[in-house]
Chains A and B, each alone.
Chain A
Amino acid sequence: MAKKLKKLAPQPEVVETVETTAVDASVDASTELSPEEGLDRSRSAGAPDGAGEPNAADTPETSDNAETQDERTDSAAGQADADASAVEPALPSATNARRPLPISLPRVLLDGIVRKNPVLVAGLGLVPALLLADAAAALAVGVCTTLALLVTSLAASLCGQYLPEKFRPALFTLIAAGAAVALEFAIGELLPDLMPRIGIFVALIAVGGLTLSRAEYSTARPPLDALVDAFANGIGYTLALTLIGALREIVGRGSIFGVDVTFGVLPPMNALTTAAGGFILVGLLAGAIQGLRLSRARRRAAKVSKKSNDKEVSA
């Protein structure tokens, strides 16, 4: 089956210089859906989970690097932090003297929110997306997940590489469970009304695929990289959950954030508030995002082929 997984996800094998675990490969196997997507990933500097940044810093990339230059000048404070973290001997790369730019903030954010959205593209952390037909609760679960992700990724970045590889997933899950308990306690104290609605989802953050995959990604990466990645994924997760929750609440219950918006004109479609409706809605949204990505990749390919044709004609 390991062979099968490798067949399914050939891209990481080619691009990766950092070793990845089979968990990553299995996650990628589900997310590597089409050749276009593979192309897209190999083109972007922060390629698949667990690959990437060391490579991006070492190998010059023409257009991508031009883009990152601008970002570098934009975030001076972030750069200061980044330089501080780049001094740490956390990267397994051989040439980790002083990386000029460990991360590109807008790209990581874009990846987390759209291109590799945890729910709609990677299919991770689906439970609240499938069950919550309630925008406020979905938003709360998203924020809790972001906080848990930040804690777990930071811990993985700081001590992940010193843990034995075999027990890493289990220990990361334990750390996430600690974060989930703290969050449950905080919600119980601060927002007791919300607790019965979201309690179980906050507990499930501990074993969700999202925390584990981000922790695996953050292992042996500088803390700033890990935090930015966790933040981007958390924001992407929160936005996706809130969108799904709001859509289901509007159509399924005729209200949003508890406020009636249909004024009795549209009858509520209760089917959308069940798990079945959640499956179908998430599937449709994921299909829409994949369709957008495919059409974008096709347009880009057409542009490239047109350019090469023009060059041939002029020559």
Chain B
Amino acid sequence: MTLRFVALLSVFLCALGVGQEAFAYLDPGTGSMLLQLLLGGIAGALMIVKLYWARLKDFLFRRKSKPRDRTEQ
């Protein structure tokens, strides 16, 4: 299962390779890098959900308030 997971991750990484190549005297370790990708991915996904949640609320609020706007006009 972990094998499939790593394979999947590296495919994902190839598609995602947009960052700057990092050089350091320290070896960051593959496990740490994959984990950060995962955590970053989760944080990114949460942000997207949050963003869309705000848009959804915004959308619902506008639809509700629109008729009232008209009567006020």
**Chains A and B belong together in one complex:** no
Tell me the A residues contacting B by CB distance below 8 Å. Answer: none
